[in-house]
């Protein structure tokens, strides 16, 4: 039944909906094959044999599948535990190396600090230059210089 005609421009009733319905004729099947009846003795033998073999077989197969599932589950859990322990070992090694890196950085900063450099220089007999200790050399375009002794050195 097409309901679109109710929503289009017409407001009239569809009286086909209220008309008496006709009985549909049953369709005949031409392709039905009739299987001859088996004797009751043959049916009971076959069904009993099928039941006696299928119930234990199904029970055994179910037990095997459940057992295989448990074994697989245990195996996977063992593997997961091994991998987790390896991960924890690597994490502890990483934290150890991080702490060693930090201690080495602190040691390096301690050794190269300005105060330590100055202290080491004083221990070696070094001192800050003073004005009298500085010798200035005046260079002109003739490439000559006067030494500390007052000698005049010229380029040869």
pLDDT (tens digit, 9 = 90+) per residue, 80-90? 999 999 999 99
d(CA 43, CA 35): 14
Distance of CA 62 to the CA centre of its chain: 36
pLDDT at 136: 75
pLDDT (tens digit, 9 = 90+) per residue, 66-107? 999 999 999 999 999 999 999 999 999 999 999 999 999 999
Cβ within 8 Å of residue 139, ≥6 positions away: 145
CB 51 within 8 A of CB 58: no
d(CA 109, CA 131): 32
| Predicted model pTM | 0.39
User: Burial level of 145, CB count in 10 A (0-12/13-18/19+)?
Assistant: middle
d(CA 69, CA 80): 16
């Amino acid at each position: 039944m097409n309901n679109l005609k109710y929503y289009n421009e017409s407001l009239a009733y569809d009286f086909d909906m209220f008309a008496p319905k006709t009985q549909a004729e049953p369709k005949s099947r031409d392709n039905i094959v009739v299987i001859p009846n088996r004797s009751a003795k043959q049916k009971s033998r076959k069904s009993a044999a099928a039941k006696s073999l299928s119930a234990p077989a199904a029970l055994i197969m179910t037990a095997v599948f459940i057992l295989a599932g448990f074994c697989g589950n245990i195996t996977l859990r063992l593997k997961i535990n091994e991998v987790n322990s390896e991960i924890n070992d690597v994490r502890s090694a990483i934290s150890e190396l991080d702490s060693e890196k930090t201690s080495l950085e602190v040691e390096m900063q301690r050794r190269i600090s300005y105060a330590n450099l100055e202290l080491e220089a004083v221990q070696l007999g070094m001192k800050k230059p003073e004005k009298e200790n500085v010798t200035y050399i005046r260079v002109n375009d003739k490439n000559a210089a006067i030494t500390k002794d007052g000698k005049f050195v010229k380029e040869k």
